[in-house]
Structure 1
Amino acid sequence: MKWRKSDKRPKWLDPRSRPKSGKLYRIRNKNLRAKHNFGSNSLRKSLLKEPEPLIDIFQNGENVMVVAELKGFRKENIKVHVEQRRLVISANAHGRSYHKILSLPKAVVPESMRMTYKNGVVEIILKKAMEAKAIKELAG
């Protein structure tokens, strides 16, 4: 038996047998395809995004301690800024950046800040500010 090539195509493949679609349908599908950008770098970057670094805030009698995991950054690239009850941590390295604003549980003294960085963990220790206490004077 000899195989021969046929000019017949299956109905599902024949463009003449496809259902006719209106112009509006074609435009809408074209717009949907344009919005999704399948295979683009932006889609890959969003799927491969690194998780947020872990941050913990502890306080004891006179100190507030912030521990943050910032692996992959050098100590020179990490900047910490303190004002009243806010702590701003930012870091940049090799196309990566991180910026976080934390609310501290108590007001702190910015000049008392000590920062250590070891094995990708930043430890920031701040002294609590003295609270102004109301003094009552007895008029006698």
Structure 2
Amino acid sequence: MNTIIFRAFAPYLTALMLLYSVFVTLRGHNEPGGGFIGGLIAASAFAIYGIAFGYWPMRRAMRVHPISVAAFGLLLSALSGLPSLLLSMPYMTAQWWSPEILGTVVDLSTPMVFDIGVYFVVVGAFTSIALVLEEGGDT
């Protein structure tokens, strides 16, 4: 797309969508949202950037190959079940920790780690699809 307005607005929209996708992912177990929806929002942000600027600028914006991002997310999701096995509980049983970091109690959980892994899987897979479609359009 060659409109100057879209090309000028796309980087700001992409950044805003990526920030919102992280917000949706992290609130996923308490309210509507989660890793899948957050990942779709992030992949849509990269797709908008690709529509505005083309294949190579989109690849440079990713910095890491999308399949590597998806593989990291799959590994993270699979590893999120290991703490329950270490505690002699069934695989993927939710575990919660509340460490104090810099004087603030932070609630951490294995479902949150799983959601973050799903986020990376969805971002990697759908961005890879968008890159293939964008690359095919230029030739």
TM-score normalised over the length of structure 1? 0.22
Bigger proportion of residues as helix? 2
Question: Rg larger in 1 or in 2?
Answer: 1
Bigger proportion of residues as strand? 1
